[in-house]
């Protein structure tokens, strides 16, 4: 600093964007193509309304405004004021009376304090947004934080778990630990809690290979929700694509959320658990033309957002959230790619799940598989090598794109979810699709050269009923959201098993538990990648609310005061995951071919009816059929290890009965083998897995109780069977 307390200002550089710390000071760079002026404001404290210094940024290179401040370093608070035309009809909404967050801020100091000044227009009337508001918003605007990148990763490296080997656990950072008595109270609900000894032991014992975190990019807690005493719990309202959300930091120190996030990742990696982020690059928290001005809108509205062609006052909205980012602008694409690379290279995350990913693929209007977004990601040497998972739909016309994302991408398979729910609900005419979904959805992925692991299989997720509520409610019960029941999906394919909500009927309760075991067994034994919604392993309930996006309270948080039945279910899920990991036939990296296995008289996969005969074409179309069996041979996987040695497994039969009555199945015979079948699992049993070996001959029928699954393993060892085939 100079003697007159005014900072020394050097020219600086236009790259990288954001605030970049060097040994000499900090470089500041912000893109705005249409601005006429940029002012950088420094602050001493997060609640300060008057800056300690105001720097007019003079240098402009390729539409990037930049300067360098010697002596400024980690922890410095800052914000911008950007000048330019306020002309909504032309797409411009500049207003230099409003402080703005840096679009590249690596940390943001706290929440928005809502007031009228957070909006860049004068309230009143339908055309209010056409008239600028000149009041200062400093009292309500959080500040960006300068963050240095240094951190001791202590040898942390990419785990690179093959997607085919993955078991994903979708979880909310705060909700997982907020009520957990095993975690110190002062860190509950934080990144530190998710990386705690308790959490790591829990994930490890459960057996998951990755946690998929609901949004952790800094997000906006909406004004209208706060006025109703609610909150944006899920976080699908991003405003800072480089900044970990401030509220998940246990310490509260400026910028400490970055260090704490990194520590969480390092500890999870040390336990062999990957970290996948749910990212929201399709829209921002600034909403539609009547929304607040927080960052992008005031920095360069016409560049960052998709605007309606004829009247650029309005926004294209493919997300239902008021706006869509402009994927056709190179600087917007650059920001997204810079963000993705930052989270991989600096924060060490292992992949991303892209919310409403169809929006990212839209160029003019239609979803385009060859869009610039895909082109850039596929050629990027960093992003192309991590896990890329699409939510393959948005709310716009033609937005449902399940099965249509290109190679390198896996997809949330919404068709899997809907089909499995319908099957166990007892819907007719569903067995053909059920067989396809169980075996990796080759109808969606095989023709494009993709593998079964392109399908992220799930039955429940954060959005919708929990597994408990899926079998306990026919209707959504969203009164707590204060939206008159208009929110949340009304088509849930759920079945309450005979009573709506809580009941003391022991028969209904037993059926619900069996249905949960059916769903989880189907999920973990399906080809593809299973994703478990956090809490389903112990039947967490949300009291029938299928849209708890605004419920930051005990309705959404995990309850760790669990019944013996809940502990038993968790143990069952853990054993299911271990069973899947032990037997590669349930996680094949290639699709089944129906190929005969020489010498055994079977194929790599065989579907058969209760009489033990292979299913005929006519039987697949029988509407009332709800039961069938499948033989999966571990000798026909056509897979080799790195040494070129064939990988083999045992042979299994899985019997599915979604009827309301018991069905007896005849088992297929293995040629030249006198060995029988060993029952491994029966979802009719509360514990699921059998505690003692129960052997059955192929000649004796196997009774499968109503709405149950039975799994049997053939007694011929894989080693002996391999020798026999050879």
Whole-number Å distance between alpha carbons of 98 and 294:
8
CA 375 to chain centre: 22
Strands 596-597 and 409-412: unpaired
Q: Which long-range contacts (CB under 8 A, 24 or more apart) does 463-466 make?
A: 463/546, 463/547, 463/549, 464/488, 464/489, 464/492, 464/546, 464/547, 465/492, 465/494, 465/542, 465/544, 465/546, 466/533, 466/535, 466/536, 466/539, 466/540, 466/541, 466/542
The two tokens of residue 705 are 């109780």
355, 394, 433, 682: the active-site residue: 355
Is 463 catalytic? The answer is no
The two tokens of residue 25 are 């000071």
Strands 409-412 and 455-457: parallel
Integer CA distances (angstroms), 612 to 165, 344, 666, in order: 32, 51, 5
281: nearest Cα among 373, 147, 171: 373
Whole-number Å distance between alpha carbons of 59 and 56:
9
Residue 38 near residue 32, CB atoms below 8 Å: yes
- Residues in a beta bridge with 198: none
Residue 308 near residue 318, CB atoms below 8 Å: no
Question: What sign for the dihedral angle of Cα 188, 191, 197, 202?
Answer: positive
The two tokens of residue 643 are 């040494």
Is 286 catalytic? The answer is no
Whole-number Å distance between alpha carbons of 104 and 145:
10
Calculate the dihedral angle through the C-alpha atoms of 466, 479, 493, 357, rounding to the nearest 10 degrees. -70
Classify 467 as helix, strand or coil: helix
Strands 25-31 and 64-70: antiparallel
Residue 238 near residue 280, CB atoms below 8 Å: yes
The two tokens of residue 205 are 């014992």
Whole-number Å distance between alpha carbons of 709 and 658:
9
Task: For residue 505, give the DSSP letter.
Answer: -
Strands 702-704 and 689-696: unpaired
102, 286, 391, 682: the active-site residue: 391
Rg (CA), the chain: 28
Residue 600 near residue 635, CB atoms below 8 Å: yes
Whole-number Å distance between alpha carbons of 120 and 287:
13
Whole-number Å distance between alpha carbons of 243 and 346:
12
* Residues annotated catalytic, as ranges: 355, 391
């Amino acid at each position: 600093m100079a003697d007159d307390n005014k900072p020394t200002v050097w020219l600086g550089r236009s790259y990288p964007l954001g605030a970049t710390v060097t040994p000499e000071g900090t470089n500041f760079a912000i893109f705005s193509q249409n601005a006429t002026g940029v002012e950088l404001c420094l602050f001493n404290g997060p609640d300060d309304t008057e800056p300690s210094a105001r720097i007019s940024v003079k240098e402009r290179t390729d539409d990037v405004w930049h300067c360098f401040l010697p002596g400024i370093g980690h922890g410095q608070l800052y914000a911008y004021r950007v000048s330019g035309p306020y002309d909504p009809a032309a797409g411009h909404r500049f207003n230099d009376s409003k402080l703005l967050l840096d679009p590249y801020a690596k940390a943001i100091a706290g929440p928005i304090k809502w007031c009228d000044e957070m909006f860049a227009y004068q309230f009143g009337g339908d055309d209010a947004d056409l008239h600028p508001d000149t009041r200062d918003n400093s009292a309500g605007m959080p500040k960006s934080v300068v963050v240095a990148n240094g951190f001791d990763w202590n040898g942390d490296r990419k785990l690179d778990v093959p997607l085919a080997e993955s078991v994903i656990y979708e979880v909310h950072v705060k909700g997982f630990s907020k009520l957990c008595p095993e975690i110190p109270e002062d860190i509950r609900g934080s990144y530190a809690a998710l990386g705690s000894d308790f959490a790591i032991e829990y994930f490890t014992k459960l057996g998951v290979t990755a946690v998929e975190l609901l949004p952790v990019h800094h997000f906006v807690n909406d004004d209208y929700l706060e006025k109703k005493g609610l909150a944006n719990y899920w976080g699908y309202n991003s405003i800072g694509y480089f900044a970990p959300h401030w509220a998940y930091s246990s310490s509260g120190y400026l910028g400490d959320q970055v260090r704490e996030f990194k520590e969480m990742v390092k500890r999870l990696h040390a336990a062999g658990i990957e970290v996948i982020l749910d990212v929201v690059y399709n829209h921002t928290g600034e909403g539609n033309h009547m929304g607040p001005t927080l960052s992008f809108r005031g920095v360069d509205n016409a560049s960052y957002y998709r605007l309606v062609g004829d009247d650029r006052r309005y926004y294209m909205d493919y997300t239902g959230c008021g706006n869509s980012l402009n994927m056709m602008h190179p600087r917007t694409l650059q920001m997204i790619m810079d963000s993705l690379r930052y989270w991989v290279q600096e924060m060490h995350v292992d992949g991303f799940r892209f919310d409403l990913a169809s929006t990212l693929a839209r160029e003019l209007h239609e979803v385009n598989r060859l869009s610039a977004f895909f082109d850039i990601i596929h050629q990027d040497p960093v992003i192309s090598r991590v896990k890329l998972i699409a939510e393959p739909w948005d709310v716009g016309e033609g937005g449902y794109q399940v099965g249509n994302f290109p190679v390198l991408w896996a997809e949330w398979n919404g068709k899997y979810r809907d089909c499995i729910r319908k099957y166990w609900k007892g819907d007719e005419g569903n067995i053909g699709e059920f067989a396809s979904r169980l075996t990796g959805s080759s109808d969606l992925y095989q023709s494009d050269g993709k593998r079964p692991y392109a399908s992220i299989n799930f039955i429940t997720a954060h959005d919708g009923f929990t597994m408990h509520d899926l079998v306990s409610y026919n209707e959504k019960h969203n009164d707590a959201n204060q939206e008159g029941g208009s929110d949340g999906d009304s088509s849930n394919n759920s079945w309450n098993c005979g009573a709506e909500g809580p009941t003391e009927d022991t028969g209904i309760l037993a059926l619900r538990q069996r249905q949960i075991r059916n769903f989880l067994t189907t999920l973990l034994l399906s080809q593809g990648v299973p994703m478990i919604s956090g809490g389903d392993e112990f039947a967490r309930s949300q009291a029938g609310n299928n849209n708890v996006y605004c419920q930051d309270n005990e309705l959404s948080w995990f309850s760790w005061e669990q019944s013996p039945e809940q502990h038993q279910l968790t143990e069952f899920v853990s054993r299911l995951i271990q069973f899947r990991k032990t037997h590669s036939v349930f996680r094949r990296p290639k699709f089944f071919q129906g190929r005969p296995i020489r010498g055994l008289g079977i194929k790599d996969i065989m579907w058969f009816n209760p009489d033990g005969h292979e299913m005929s074409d006519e039987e697949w179309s029988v509407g009332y059929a709800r039961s069938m069996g499948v033989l999966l041979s571990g000798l026909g996987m056509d897979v080799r290890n790195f040494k070129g040695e064939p990988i083999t497994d045992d042979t299994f039969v899985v019997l599915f009965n979604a009827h309301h009555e018991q069905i007896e199945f005849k088992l297929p015979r293995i040629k030249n083998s006198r060995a029988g079948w060993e029952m491994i699992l029966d979802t009719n049993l509360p514990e699921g897995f059998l505690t003692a070996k129960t052997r059955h001959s192929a000649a004796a029928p196997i009774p499968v109780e109503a709405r149950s699954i039975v799994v049997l393993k053939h007694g011929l060892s894989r080693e002996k069977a391999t020798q026999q085939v050879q």
